[in-house]
Amino acid sequence: MQLMVEARNLRKTYKRPDGSTIEAVKGVDLEIRQGEIFSLLGPNGAGKTTTISMISGLVEPTGGDATIGGYSITKEPMAAKRLMGFVPQEIALYPELSARQNLAFFGRMYGLGGKELSRRVDELLEFVDLSDRQNDRIDTFSGGMKRRINLAAGLLNSPPLIYMDEPTVGIDPQSRRRILDTVKLLREEQGMTVLYTTHLMEEAQELSDRVGIMDHGEIIAIGTQTELTQQVGEEDRLEFIIGAQEFEESLAEGIQQETAGVTRILYNPPEQVSDDSSESTPSRLTVFAKRGRTALPQLIQNLDAAGVEIQSVAVREPDLEAVFLALTGRALRD
């Protein structure tokens, strides 16, 4: 199968204002095949945007290179950029202009004009279902509507390849649904290749043919969803929410030895949701076990005996979340 995007050893080092440096991306290799939906899944700050910025020519890589449809993004940027559409994580639109003016401007930049341009703009407004608001200024739009125009602006040149950087961030479930459906539609009806980034496991799971899991500037696992979940084996995942209390490593080791089928226990202490919030996530205990349902009764007994207050428990089949957890020891949403 033909490769649409091929990145080799991409690296990016940023300078911070205080003079120190940060390695945002540390040697990423990536292959995206023609016609597939590929997701980059990773928590905030993993380096998803930086990676996308390098393979779209926004940011010069500190090292490595990428080709788009065979054209090097650093050496033949014009030819490479003609093949791609780009939907940035931010609402990259002029707030003072109307939806139609925004689309018409970016369309003109792709060399469209006259009837052709206005037909394409009509089509896209129709496609994102905002024809009735086309003459309103972007700054009067809701978050979800902005997202949809932001997406339409990436489709103006009917590109064979589109990058979407967290296109569902900060919007309501209804708008999110609409955007996810749009992505599937683009691939099914127009055969587009899609690179989709997200920090939500559910989105990656629903959309992607293949997934790259990213953390701390590196792709730590890559493959189809089945391939990835096989990496963590056939283990189920038991998620305990426990009372706020000290939980020591030695306790985890003891329970692991005493309970048949348990291979690993991870403890995540409570964390503040955000800097300006007094809310915090509950203490969480994640237990990997061969046959989760069978191990559960004994596990509960042992935890109880150790004086751990169990508030709730859930059994999860192997999924991408489990892969991330297994590889990093952290939950994806932290």
Partner 1 sequence: MRSILTIILNDLKIFFSQRANLPGLLIIPVLLTLVIGWSLGQIGGGGPTRLRVDLIDLDQTSMSAKLIEDLRSANDAIVLCPLDNDAEDFCRLREEPLQLERAIERARTGRTSALIVIPAGFAAALEEFEIFSVDYYSLSDPMQPGPVLQSLNAVLQRASTASMTTGVAAALLTNLTAAFELPPLETETLDGFLGALYLRSQEMLTEQPAPVRFRVADAESASEDGSMNGFNQSAPGMGSLYVMFTVLGGMAVLLRERSQWTLQRLMALPLSRAQILGAKIGVYFSLGMIQYFIVFAVGAALGMDFGSSPAALLAVMAAFVLCITALTFALAPWIKSEGQARGLVLLLSLSLAPLGGAWWPLEIVPEFMQTLGHLSPVAWAMDGFHDLIWYNGGFIDVLPEIGVLISASVVLFAIGIRRFKYE
Ligand X SMILES: Nc1ncnc2c1ncn2[C@@H]1O[C@H](COP(=O)(O)OP(=O)(O)OP(=O)(O)O)[C@@H](O)[C@H]1O
Which residues would be at the binding site for ligand X (CB under 6 A)?
A: 14, 16, 22, 24, 42, 44-50, 89, 166, 199
In angstroms, what is the minimal distance from the CB of 41 to ligand X? 10
Residue 44 near which of Mg ion, partner 1, ligand X, none (CB within 5-8 Å, type-dependent): ligand X
State yes or no: residue 170 binds partner 1 (CB under 8 A): no
State yes or no: residue 139 binds partner 1 (CB under 8 A): no
**CA dist., res. 118 & res. 100, Å (int):** 9
Task: Considering only residues 2 through 21, tell me which ones interact with partner 1, judged by CB under 8 A.
Answer: 17
The owner of tokens 């207050």 is 309
**CA dist., res. 334 & res. 332, Å (int):** 6
The one among 21, 44, 60, 248 contacting partner 1 by CB under 8 A: 60
Q: Is 24 buried (19+), middle (13-18) or exposed (0-12) by CB count in 10 A?
A: buried
Residue nearer to ligand X on the CB measure, 48 or 210: 48
Helix H or strand E encompassing 26: strand 21-33
Question: Residues 225, 205: contact at Cβ < 8 Å?
Answer: yes
In angstroms, what is the minimal distance from the CB of 192 to partner 1? 16
CB atoms within 10 A of CB 53: 22
Question: Residues 37, 209: contact at Cβ < 8 Å?
Answer: yes
Q: In the complex, which residues of this chain contact Mg ion (CB under 5 A)?
A: 48-49, 89
State yes or no: residue 58 binds partner 1 (CB under 8 A): yes
Residue nearer to Mg ion on the CB measure, 48 or 146: 48
Residue 3 near which of partner 1, ligand X, Mg ion, none (CB within 5-8 Å, type-dependent): none
- From 80-88, 213-221, 226-234, 257-265, give the range in contact with partner 1 by CB under 8 A: 80-88
- From 55-63, 181-189, 191-199, 323-331, give the range in contact with partner 1 by CB under 8 A: 55-63
The one among 20, 78, 275, 307 contacting partner 1 by CB under 8 A: 78
Q: Is 105 buried (19+), middle (13-18) or exposed (0-12) by CB count in 10 A?
A: middle
Q: How far is CA 297 from CA 102, 219, 241, 275, in A?
A: 60, 37, 16, 38
DSSP string, 278-292: --BPPEEEEEEETTH
Residue 45 near which of ligand X, Mg ion, partner 1, none (CB within 5-8 Å, type-dependent): ligand X
Tokens of residue 52, six digits: 């996308």
Residue nearer to partner 1 on the CB measure, 145 or 255: 145
Tokens of residue 99, six digits: 């939806």
Residue nearer to ligand X on the CB measure, 14 or 94: 14
Measuring CA to CA, which residue among 58, 80, 61 is closest to residue 4?
80
Task: Considering only residues 145 through 164, tell me which ones interact with partner 1, judged by CB under 8 A.
Answer: 153
